[in-house]
Chain A
Amino acid sequence: MMCAMLIAYLTVGYPTPEAFLEAAKRIGPYVSAYEIGFPPRFAKYDGPVIRRSYMSIKGSLDEHMALASSVNGTKFALTYYEDIRERPEAFISKAASSGFAGCLFPDAVIDYHLEAEKVFSMVNDAGLKNAIFVSPSVPDALISKVSRWADAFLYLGVRPTTGVPVPVSVEALVKRIKKLYSGPLIVGFGLKDEEIKDAIGAGADGIAVGTAIIKALEAGPEKAEEEVKRIARIAGN
């Protein structure tokens, strides 16, 4: 069997710049890529854990980009499109010059579907790839349309917010997307251990983990490493 991809989420500079870098280094061997979150004004699709992490960090976007640039490996810059909508090219070019492979805007398709394709093309123009986020409430026709831009991967968030446990049938959700899109599919948002297997069994190419890492990281980078190792094992890596 091919190895499942594991995408690890970290909030830039959280809980401290040092612990952030240390955690990134420790989990590096187990992950396919990092998503690094830059604090938005309001992280509306994030649960309390990630929201709290955003609120606790200080500093400017430039400082955050500089810090993130010293994380080695494939990494995607994540922020809310709502916040950069005035000048998306500023964020995108900073991401490009900080060594990111691509961008991920969790609200682009859900809240700005009419202009999403324009942003995706800007990302490509900057030499970056698009990781495109969709939720189950995105209609089929739109999933088909935007997923053509997903040259990194399509990211399906199976719950309304990160890290909040509501019951869903991961298998059914993944199968629906697989009918519409054949590229690499990453599944995330509050996955329980058994759901990681369900997702991969239903045809997902990998999983994304955020809240669990952030929670573990609050107890120290070595705890984050343990958690990522544990999850990588469940994912069959």
Chain B
Amino acid sequence: MVNFPPEKWYNVVPDLPAPLPPPMDPPDAESSSIELLNQIMPREVLRHQFTVERWISIPDEIRDAYAQVGRPTPLLRAKRFEEAIGTKARIYFKYEGATPTGSHKINAAIPQAYFALKEGVTGLSTETGAGQWGAAVALASSIFGISSTVFMVRTSYEQKPLRRLLMEMYGAKVYPSPSEKTEPGRAALGRDKNARGSLGLAMSEAIEYALKNGLKYAVGSVLDVVLMYQSVIGLEAKAQLEAHGEVPDVLIGCVGGGSNFGGFVYPFIGSGIGKRYIAVGPTEIPKFSSGSYRYDYPDSAGILPLVKMLTLGREYAPPPIYAGGLRYHGVAPSLSLLVREGVVEAMEVSEEEAVRAGLLFARSQGIVPAAESAHAVAAVIRAARESAPGTVIAFNMSGHGLLELDVYRRSSA
């Protein structure tokens, strides 16, 4: 039985079907970018990244903060949605939108802010696309009384003023990226003064800003340690499904960098529960179908060490789909490996299909999915169609879309 919030995080690495290729320094480098991580990330976060153990105790202060932001989040059955799509499958969803910032991102922000504070750091810097991760870092920083600086991809900075306002309400300093504040930002503006920015570039800006200003950088996805911090989602969901007397057959999550998917699905994979695991990405950013599995940089400036992952290349400029959180060139190394090994199925759905699915979910269940999460909803519809009656499908509703209703405007008319 799991206590709420869980007492331990789960790390999938010891349970993978093949070794996870370790992070690597660039082949021709004089200095070590792995070593540079010491200056970039809080020490305890790095220790968690590199000390591979299946279970890691969650400090009480973090469990308290998890409880304060509403953990455990609800696990609900989507009965009216089942009826709306005419399926005999039973559909459950974990509702990460029921946190103050409206997404799962707070689960990984809280430990990083806590460990930064513990080592005497005065603030965190980070990047954000749609603003979900930035808002989470802003809130987590305010919980532990440290500062936060957020580089927000310019497209979203302009399109999503409400999320920017939310971050500022929590006390964050928010800059549009590319910005004049950092070298990678100035270089991008030098190439094109109207550059729209990307998550990878904003990441590079946030890292450089942290290095130059004695702050630590909070990493929002992709790295194993982030997926591990997110495991509270799946650990709770597993216990909650047990309480419903259900054993899920199909588990589904959307993928930007892989953190909500890994957080939700890995605890099930680790305990051998489930027959199909489906990772959903956007058709417009085809990293599953067209990405190659190779060592690449997580950030576009190449400050971080190389990791082996499915990637479209760090130079890749993602098209401006509404789901800002999915506009990223790579996939977390552990998830890339699980896809390669055939444990996790990858699926791609278009923005149009995602929006239609999200709208149907909103109309039937009342909860408006975040544009990212709507991709998972679309995959649920596809999976339900293929499933035998009585199949149990569980998916992660990674966030709500109440601050981005625009995406539904066209389709609901």
Contact = CB atoms under 8 A, between A and B. Distances in A.
Contacts of A113: 18-19
A136 B51 contact: yes
B17 to A, nearest CB: 7
B47 A167 contact: yes
Contacts of B13: 136-137, 139
B339 interface: no
Interface stretch (A39-47, A69-77, A221-229): A39-47
Contact-size category for B = 20 to 34
Given A48-B32, A139-B14, A160 B52 contact: no
A160 B33 CA distance: 12
Secondary structure call for the B interface: loop
B115 to A, nearest CB: 11
Interface stretch (A8-16, A18-26, A147-155, A168-176): A168-176
A124 interface: no
B51 A169 contact: yes
Which one of B16, B19, B34, B305 has the highest number of Cβ atoms from chain A below 10 Å of its Cβ?
Answer: B19
A111 B53 CA distance: 20
Contacts of A140: 14-15, 54
Contact of B53 (A48, A139, A176): A176
A110 interface: yes
B17 A159 contact: no
Interface stretch (B1-9, B22-30, B64-72, B313-321): B22-30
Secondary structure call for the A interface: loop
A136 B52 contact: yes
Contact of B19 (A137, A164, A166): A137
Given A42-B27, A160-B34, A135 B46 contact: no
A110 B19 CA distance: 6
Interface in A32-88: 42, 44-45, 47-48
B19 A109 contact: yes
A44 B52 contact: no
A237 interface: no
B61 interface: no
A233 to B, nearest CB: 27
Interface in A119-142: 135-140, 142
A173 B48 CA distance: 11
A172 B15 contact: no
A137 B52 contact: yes
Contacts of B38: 165-167
Given A113-B19, A135-B19, A48 B14 contact: no
A111 B21 CA distance: 7
A176 B52 contact: yes
Given A42-B27, A137-B13, A164-B32, A169 B20 contact: no
B51 A168 contact: yes
A161 B47 contact: no
B34 A166 contact: yes
B35 interface: yes
A139 B16 contact: yes
A169 B11 CA distance: 15
B58 interface: no
Contacts of B47: 167-169
B25 A142 contact: no
Given A44-B24, A137-B20, A165 B15 contact: no
Interface of B: 13-25, 27, 29-32, 34-35, 37-38, 43-44, 46-47, 49-54, 305
Leading 7 A-B pairs by shortest Cβ distance: A136-B52, A137-B20, A160-B22, A167-B47, A169-B51, A138-B19, A168-B50
12 contacts: A42-B27, A44-B24, A48-B25, A113-B18, A135-B19, A137-B21, A140-B54, A161-B34, A167-B46, A169-B47, A176-B14, A176-B54
